[in-house]
Structure 1
C-alpha cells in the first residue's frame, strides 16, 4: 500500500488530498473566508446563562457568541471571564461550540493542564501497548496534568514521547503567560495551519511521499518537522511547477467529483447522495447491474459495493449528523448482516467518530457521525440561483482555484497578446476581490501577457472560459 499527501495553495484556498494507492482517502479544503477555528483557545466573557438548556452563551470576540454546555451543577455568572476552546465551527444560525476542558494536540499525545488522568485512544486495541503507554505517561505526569496517547503513538519510543511532552508543556506555559492579566475577550492560541495539521494527524510510518506547493508552506512544514517529526522531514518535497500540482498528479478530477451527487459503482449500479437540513440521504440503485443470476445475487453485489462506496464518500465529503442509506432489496437477514459488517469495518477506520444505529422500521440503515467542521458541500457548493434553491452549483471561490490553475498552465504557452477570462458576474466579482485588475493578477501568477475579465451572462452555472488573442 502506497500513501501520498499532496497540498496545494492557490490564492486564498488550501486543498489537501491524501491518496492510498492512487485513490483519494481524505480531501480537505479550507478557504481564508471560511477558515476553521476548531482548536483555538479564547478568553471569553459570559453573556447569558440558560438553566433550561444548561448552557452559557459566551462572547469570545467574534460575530457570533459561543455556545458552552455546562456540567451538572456548574454555575457561571454573567460577566465572568472564562477560558474556552472551540470544539465545533459555527454553521447556519448557530455559533461555535465551546468547552472549558482545554487541550493542545501533538502528533502522538494530547495534553490537558487539568484532569489528573492518563488514557489511550480507543482505537489502540493491543493491551500490552496500552500498558506500555500508560506507564511511560504516568511517570511523566506532574500535578493535575492529563495525557492522552493518540493512535499514532503505537510503537513510538520513550524518548520521542518525552520530547513531545516537553514541547506541549512549553506551548502551554507560553499560553498561560499570554492569559495573565487579560480582562477582555479574544484569541490566545490559534490552531496550526491546514497543511501542518494534516502532517500532525495523518502522517504515520506508512506515508511514502508528501508534496507541498508554495515555498512558504513548504518552509513552515519543514520547521514544524524539526520540532515534532524530524523523521518525516526527508519525505517532504517542494513543488513549483508550471502546471497545478493537482493537475500534475492527475487528482483534480477527484476534487471536481465532489460537485456530483451521483457516483457510479463498478458493477453498473450507483449511489445518489442528497443532503438536507436535517440529515443526509443516500439512495442505492442497481442500475445496469445484471450480472447476478438471480435477484438476490444482483442485490447483494450492488449493496456490498455500495456499502464501501458510501463510507468512502461520507469520509471524503465530511458528511456528518444523521445519515440514512436505502439499500436494494435488503430484507434478507444474511445480506443485512454482510452490509452492516462492511459499514462498521469501514467506519472504524474513519478519524471522525461514527457508529451504526441500526435498521429503521422502514428497512433503512441509520448512521450518526460527529460534526465538528462543515461538510465539503458547504465549502464548494451554494444553492442554485435558477431553481429557487432546489439544486446546487459550485461556489465562485471554489472555481477561482481552477481558473488560476488553468492560467498558470498557459503562462509559458503565450507570451504577449491578451488572455480573456469570461465568467458569470459573481465569479468575476470574486476575481476582482483578489486582484483589483487583470494586470495585477497577471503579475501575481506570472503570466507574460495582458489579462482581462469579462462578464458573460450566457454561460451555464459554474462554468467559465479562457481565450487567447494575439495583438
Structure 2
C-alpha cells in the first residue's frame, strides 16, 4: 500500500476493527470499533415508551437488552407511555447517557409491535466511509472482513491485502490518537484533556517559547488547524475550549476567522467565539463515542489486551504452526475473557488457541507474547 494514495483502510484483528481514511499522506478519518460492542448509530429498533418527560420535551424508550434511549418530541415522540414504535439510533450512548433516538425517516411498513427488539444494524465505519467516498478503494487485511464488505459494496470495491492494511505511518497516526499529546510544527504541542463537562485543549509552545514572536505565532497558527483535525479524528463533542499560548484577547480574537475557516470542513463543529478569559469556544454535535471513551484515557486493560492479540496474530502468521502464549496482568486477561468471541476469533485467525498466563508483576501495557514450547515446564 502506498500511504500517498487515497484509501479506506480496514485493519481487523481479534475483537477489534480499525478503520482509516488515508488521503495525501495523512489521516483524515479514524474509527476504532469493537464488533461485539457496536456503538449502535443507525440501528433500527422497536422500542416501548416507558416515561414521558415534558420538562425535557421527550420520552424515555426501552430498547432490547434493558437499554433506555431518549426520544425527543420533535423526532417522532409525543406518544403515550406503553406505546411500541420503531426508532433509529442517531447518537451513540456516551458520557454516561443513553442513546438518542429518532422516529423520523423510519422505512414505511417497519414493525411496530412488541417486545422491544433490534430490527437491523446500522452501517459500520467502513461502510459509512465507502458511501461518502464512492471513488476511494477499500483495502482490507482480513478475509472475513473482505467478504463482508464485498457483499455490501461489490466484488471490485473491497480488495484483500496480503499484508497489514496499516503501515508504519498509519500506525503512528493512530498511536497519537490514543494519547493526550499531539506534536506541532516548530517544537510545540497540543494537549487534549477530556472531562465529563467539556474538553479542554491547551497549546504549549515548547521549544518556540524562547524564540522570536514570529515562531510563537507560527505555533499558535499550526495549533488552530491541528486542533480542528484532532477534534474530528477523536470524535470529540459537546463544549470544547481551546487555550492558545500567550497573546492578548485582541490578538486571539483576530485568529477566530482562521479557526472558523479550519472548522468549515466539519459540519458537526461550530465556533462560538471567545470567552471572557480569552479561550476559543467551540461546540460539536455528539454522534459516535469519542475515542477516549472507546480506548480509555489512560488506556483500559481491554485496549492493551486487544493490542497484544493483534501483535500475536502477526507473529503467528510469521511463524506458522507455533503455539503462542500471552502473559499479562490479571486485569488484562479478565477483560479479554469478558469480550464475547475474542479468544475464538484469535484461534480462527492464528489456526490455534492462545494460552493465557497471569502475571501480576506486569502492569497493563507490558504484555508479553511467548512461544509455548519454549516456556513449557
Asked whether the 8 Å contact 2:186–2:215 carries over to 1, the reply is no
1:69-94 C-alpha deviation (Å, 9 max, x unpaired): 11499743221222322111223442
Give the equivalent residue in structure 1 for 2:359.
Answer: 456
1:3-31 C-alpha deviation (Å, 9 max, x unpaired): 21110221221110111222211110111
Structure 2, unaligned runs of 5 or more: none
Q: Distance in 2 between matches of 1:265 and 1:100?
A: 44
Give the equivalent residue in structure 1 for 2:63.
Answer: 60
Q: 1:413 to 1:353 in 2, by over 3 A?
A: closer
1:101 aligns with 2:104: yes
Q: Distance in 1 between matches of 2:93 and 2:342?
A: 33
Asked whether the 8 Å contact 2:328–2:364 carries over to 1, the reply is no
1:420 aligns with 2:342: no
- TM-score, structure 1 as length reference: 0.71
Which of 127, 133, 143 is the equivalent residue of 1:196?
Answer: 127
Q: 1:356 to 1:215 in 2, by over 3 A?
A: same
1:253 aligns with 2:172: yes
Asked whether the 8 Å contact 1:41–1:188 carries over to 2, the reply is yes
Deviation at 1:218, TM superposition (A): 1.6
Give the equivalent residue in structure 1 for 2:220.
Answer: 303
Asked whether the 8 Å contact 1:407–1:447 carries over to 2, the reply is no
Q: 1:418 to 1:54 in 2, by over 3 A?
A: closer
- TM-score, structure 2 as length reference: 0.87
Asked whether the 8 Å contact 1:280–1:322 carries over to 2, the reply is yes
Q: Secondary structure of 1:373's match?
A: coil
Q: Distance in 1 between matches of 2:322 and 2:345?
A: 15
Give the equivalent residue in structure 1 for 2:142.
Answer: 214
1:32 aligns with 2:59: no
Which of 23, 26, 38 is the equivalent residue of 1:23?
Answer: 26
Q: Alignment RMSD, CA only? A: 3.0
Asked whether the 8 Å contact 2:191–2:201 carries over to 1, the reply is yes
Which of 300, 308, 315 is the equivalent residue of 1:410?
Answer: 315
Q: 1:345 to 1:81 in 2, by over 3 A?
A: same
Give the equivalent residue in structure 2 for 1:46.
Answer: 49
Q: 1:413 to 1:191 in 2, by over 3 A?
A: closer
Which of 277, 285, 288 is the equivalent residue of 1:370?
Answer: 285
Deviation at 1:308, TM superposition (A): 1.1
1:239 aligns with 2:161: yes
1:401 aligns with 2:315: no
Asked whether the 8 Å contact 1:47–1:59 carries over to 2, the reply is yes
| Greater mean alpha carbon deviation, residues 270-279 or residues 255-264 | 255-264
Q: Secondary structure of 1:257's match?
A: helix
Give the equivalent residue in structure 2 for 1:263.
Answer: 182
Deviation at 1:195, TM superposition (A): 2.2
Say which structure, 1 or 2, has more relative contact order (CA 8 Å, 6+ apart). 2
Q: 1:342 to 1:465 in 2, by over 3 A?
A: farther
Give the equivalent residue in structure 2 for 1:81.
Answer: 84
Which of 223, 228, 243 is the equivalent residue of 1:326?
Answer: 243
Give the equivalent residue in structure 1 for 2:273.
Answer: 358
1:91 aligns with 2:94: yes
1:9 aligns with 2:12: yes
Q: Secondary structure of 1:32's match?
A: coil
Q: Distance in 2 between matches of 1:254 and 1:367?
A: 24
Asked whether the 8 Å contact 1:330–1:363 carries over to 2, the reply is no
Q: Distance in 1 between matches of 2:46 and 2:105?
A: 11
Give the equivalent residue in structure 1 for 2:205.
Answer: 286
The total of aligned residue pairs comes to 371
Q: Distance in 2 between matches of 1:323 and 1:236?
A: 37
Q: Secondary structure of 1:463's match?
A: coil
Asked whether the 8 Å contact 1:412–1:447 carries over to 2, the reply is no
Q: 1:367 to 1:179 in 2, by over 3 A?
A: same
Q: Distance in 1 between matches of 2:276 and 2:57?
A: 33
Deviation at 1:32, TM superposition (A): 2.8
Deviation at 1:222, TM superposition (A): 2.2
Q: Distance in 2 between matches of 1:72 and 1:434?
A: 34
Q: Secondary structure of 2:128's match?
A: helix
